[in-house]
Amino acid sequence: MTVKMRRSSSDFSMPLRILLVVSVVSCFYIPYSIATDSTPAARSSQASTPYRIVANKVDRSTYLGWRVYHSVCYTCHGMDATGTSVAPDLVERVKTMSAEDFASKVLIRYRITMGYDEVASDDNTAVRRAFLEQVMRYERGELIMPAWERDPNVKPHVLDLYAYLRARADGALGPGRPKQIEP
């Protein structure tokens, strides 16, 4: 005895529903992905420019970076970040730095820091040598950039500072006080 199974209309409606949902979603997704240009080159370009400049005016982050720079950095690095006899040209230095490298150098790099192997080894020569080098720099009167991680005016704006210096380094922003894009 054979039993014939009849398909109900609801059996066909599920695949049709799925097809309808996929069609509707693709109508919105495809134009969006084309408009946002999500190619690897475009994403890389967007990630590598942390600033936005429109008609010679900068975004809020870049402007805040300029303010931070002129409140704490300019006395050593110069008015336009081009260096002085005491501190290097940041416009040149930032050209090859990532935001992470920059933040690390500004916030913590200038303390005596050592790798675990150097500290944990039985031979404390490396630790003593680093400490002695730091003391000698102070004794010679060398200016040493402080670590800014505890400064409440710098730490929250370190990436704004990077945006300003990166815009200067890329040649997208000239010297002087930038104008801010109206909100």
Reading phi first (left if > 0) and then psi (alpha if -120 to 50, else beta), residue 6 is in beta
pLDDT digits (tens, 9 = 90+) for 145-154: 888 999 999 9
What was the pLDDT predicted at 138? 67
pLDDT band at 38 (very low <50, low <70, confident <90, very high): very low
User: 100-136 as b/e, with b when 16 or more CB fall inside 10 Å?
Assistant: eebbebbbeeeeeeeeeeeeeeeeeeeeeeeeeeeee
Q: Global pTM? A: 0.61
Q: Taking each helix axis from N to C terminus, what angle separates 158-169 and 60-68, rounded to the nearest 10 degrees?
A: 100
> Average pLDDT, whole number, for the chain?
76
Distance, CA of 73 to CA of 68 (rounded, Å): 7
